[in-house]
């Protein structure tokens, strides 16, 4: 099914690519064509002047992911401040234009045309449903965007710049870690509760692959993002004798599953990926049950001892003293770092047009964010740029609520996994 729509979409992309050859970059109304040579002989079209490069954020600071969204926006801005203080890129200052869509696809659809003519690309595009709704626009406008969602199902669009690894790989590596720790054995039954959607579906792909490699049986349960009481599902999983519960859920659902895990006397380890945890859970009645949660994420946890992470989080706490502490900050900063690499490469190639930055992305084979995420390689289209994850466990005493228990690593299963649009 997912591959289904993708196949159609690939055709759309192919069509769009050929038409962009004719159109060069264009707005949704295509009344401008071709790039013009700007300062320093660099070709530019949308969102770039002789003195500035404008990037867009379509984020969420009023909807269900507002805590994460605020962290991401702050991380993006911290990066822009750093770059500008160091003299900018290509002789130009970075400006960021922010749109809040409140995690609603229809709202994003209205606001996009207002933002589109002002920006070169998107430094952050939050939300799987929003990304799905805007994808035809992004393709048509030849826009490069860094999504704040990590599904490998969107990698057929070369305009998507994945920051870190994808949900399926987070789960594969996480399960491998649990097995290494002796918490899971070949032939066991595991439960997987997932939100029906790009996010959950992609996570499920990961456990399906791992299950196939190790003869596991999966007890699947599909939920929507607003089902907050998972007690019934965990009751059923207890009946099925699961050894591990995997979650691709919202933080609230994570709390419910963990509370039920403890209350029903099941007490198995629970594996979640990046978005399943929010430090705010430590202030809920479920706080006492969270200890069983392992979080597998491609970015360093807030409290990571990694020096770059420490530097970013320290500056965040100074600049935004009252804001929530979550991994969005380092993720947002990383998005900026990757953009920085793209812009520098595009500048070197003398083409800061939309088409130019997209081409520049594919030339990057080693984007180093000093360990905020693994080293990123964008040269093979369709494949996630990295496969490495951090594993963290819930710890109320750690800032951001997570304590790193395993530094960046990639499991053999993670290496052998073929992502949906990976070529070869």
Partner 1 sequence: MSETMTPPAAPATAPPAPTAGAGRNWLKIAAAAALIVVLLLLPVLVGNGGVAYLKLAQYILIGAVGGIGLTLLVGQAGQLSLAHPFFLLVGAVGYAVLAGDPEESADLVGLGLPPLVAVIGAIVLCGLVGLAFAPVAGRLRGIYLGVASLSLVFLGLWLGQSLDMFSGGTSSGRNAPVFELFGFEFANSQPAPTIAGVAIQKQQRLWYLFLAFALMSYFLARGAVNSRIGRSWRAVRDNEAAATSMGVNVTRVKAGAFVISSAFAGLAGVMTALWLDLVKPDENEFTGTYSLTVAIAFLAVVIIGGLGSVPGAVVGATIVFGLQQFFLLGSQQFGWFADAQFGGFSAVVVSAFVYGAAIVLVILFEPGGIAAIGRRLTSRRSPDARSANGGDRTTPREDRT
Partner 2 sequence: MNTFLQLLVNGLGKGAVYALLALGFVIIFKATEVVNFAHGSLVLIGGYLVYELKDALGWAGAAVVGIVAAALSALAIERLLLRNATSADHNSLALLTIGIDVIITEEVVRRVGADIPFIGDPYDSQPIRIGDLTIFRTQAIALVVGAVLITAFLLAFRYSNWGVAMRAQAENREAAALMGIRSSRVTATAWLVAGALAGVAVLFMATQDFSGAGLGRGTHAIALIAFPAAILGGLDSTEGAVVGGLVVGLTEALSAQYISFEFSKSAVFLVMLVVLVIRPSGLFGTKELSRV
Residues binding partner 2 (CB under 8 A): 62, 66, 196, 221-224, 226-233, 235-236, 238-239, 252-253, 255-256, 259, 263-265, 280-281, 283-286, 288-289
Supply the minimum distance, in Å, between the C-beta of residue 141 and partner 1.
Answer: 10
**Residues 254-283 vs partner 1: string with x where CB under 8 A?**
------------------------------
- What number of chain residues touch partner 1 (CB under 8 A)? 56
Among residues 299, 251, 314, the alpha carbon closest in space to that of 150 is found at 299
Residue 285 contact among partner 1, partner 2, none, beta carbon within 5 to 8 Å by kind: partner 2
Within 117-176, the residues that bind partner 1 by CB under 8 A are 117, 128-129, 132-133, 136-137, 140, 153
Q: What angle do CA 316, 324, 228 make, to 5 degrees?
A: 150
Within 339-398, the residues that bind partner 1 by CB under 8 A are none
DSSP H or E run through 59: strand 52-59
Supply the minimum distance, in Å, between the C-beta of residue 73 and partner 2.
Answer: 15
Q: Are 199 and 153 in contact (CB under 8 A)?
A: no
52 vs 284, which CB is nearer to partner 2?
Answer: 284
Q: Are 304 and 395 in contact (CB under 8 A)?
A: no
DSSP 55: E
Binding segment toward partner 1, per CB under 8 A, in 58-66, 180-188, 213-221, 378-386: 58-66
Q: Which two tokens stand for residue 63?
A: 């909807």
CA gap 417, 84 in Å, rounded: 40
22 vs 86, which CB is nearer to partner 1?
Answer: 22
DSSP string, 212-280: HHHT-EEEEEEE-TT----HHHHHHHHHHT-SEEEEES-HHHHHHHHHHHHHTT----EEEEGGG--GG
Per CB under 8 A, 62 contacts partner 1: yes
CA gap 203, 153 in Å, rounded: 11
Q: Which two tokens stand for residue 51?
A: 């003195």
Q: Return the residue of 8, 41, 87, 182 that touches partner 1, per CB under 8 A.
A: 8
163 vs 260, which CB is nearer to partner 2?
Answer: 260
Supply the minimum distance, in Å, between the C-beta of residue 116 and partner 1.
Answer: 9
Q: Which two tokens stand for residue 27?
A: 């707005």
Name the H helices within 120-166: 128-140
Per CB under 8 A, 217 contacts partner 1: no
The residues that touch partner 1, with contacts defined as CB under 8 A, are: 1-9, 11-12, 19, 22-23, 27-31, 61-62, 66, 70, 99-100, 102, 104-107, 109-111, 113-115, 117, 128-129, 132-133, 136-137, 140, 153, 195-198, 200-201, 222, 224-227
């Amino acid at each position: 099914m997912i591959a289904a729509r993708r196949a159609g979409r690939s055709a759309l992309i192919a069509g769009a690519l050929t038409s962009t050859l004719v159109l060069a970059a264009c707005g949704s109304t295509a009344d401008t064509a071709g790039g013009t040579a700007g300062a320093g002989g660099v070709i530019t079209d949308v969102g770039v002047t002789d003195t500035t490069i404008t990037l867009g954020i379509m984020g969420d600071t009023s909807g269900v992911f507002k805590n994460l969204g605020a962290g991401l926006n702050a991380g993006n801005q911290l990066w822009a401040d750093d770059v500008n203080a160091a003299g900018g890129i290509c002789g130009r200052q970075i400006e960021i234009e922010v749109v809040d869509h409140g995690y609603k696809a229809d709202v994003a659809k209205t606001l996009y045309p207002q933002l589109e003519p002002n920006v070169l690309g998107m430094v952050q595009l939050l939300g799987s449903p929003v990304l799905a709704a805007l994808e035809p626009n992004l393709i048509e406008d030849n826009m490069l965007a860094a999504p704040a969602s990590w599904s490998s199902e969107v990698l057929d669009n070369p305009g998507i710049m994945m920051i870190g690894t994808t949900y399926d790989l987070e789960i594969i590596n996480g399960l491998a870690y649990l097995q290494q720790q002796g918490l899971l054995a070949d032939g066991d039954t595991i439960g997987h509760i997932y939100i029906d959607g790009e996010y959950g579906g992609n996570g499920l792909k990961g456990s399906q692959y791992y299950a196939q490699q190790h003869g596991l049986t999966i007890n699947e349960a599909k939920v929507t993002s607003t089902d907050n009481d998972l007690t019934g599902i965990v009751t059923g999983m207890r009946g099925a004798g699961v050894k591990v519960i995997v979650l691709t859920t919202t933080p609230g659902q994570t709390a419910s599953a963990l509370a039920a895990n403890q209350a029903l006397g099941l007490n198995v380890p629970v594996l979640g990926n990046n978005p399943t945890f929010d430090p705010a859970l430590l202030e809920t009645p479920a706080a006492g049950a969270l200890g069983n949660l392992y979080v597998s994420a491609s970015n360093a946890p807030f409290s990571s001892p990694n020096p770059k992470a420490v530097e970013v989080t320290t500056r965040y706490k100074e600049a935004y003293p009252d804001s929530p502490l979550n991994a969005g900050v380092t993720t947002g900063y990383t998005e900026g770092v990757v953009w920085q690499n793209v812009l520098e490469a595009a500048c070197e190639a003398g083409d800061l047009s939309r088409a130019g930055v997209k081409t520049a992305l594919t030339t990057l084979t080693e984007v180093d964010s000093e360990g905020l995420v693994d080293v990123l390689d964008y040269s093979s289209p369709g494949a996630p740029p990295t496969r490495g994850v951090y594993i963290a466990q819930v710890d109320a005493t750690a800032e951001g609520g997570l304590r790193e228990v395993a530094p960046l690593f990639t499991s053999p299963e993670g290496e052998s996994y073929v992502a949906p649009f990976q070529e070869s």
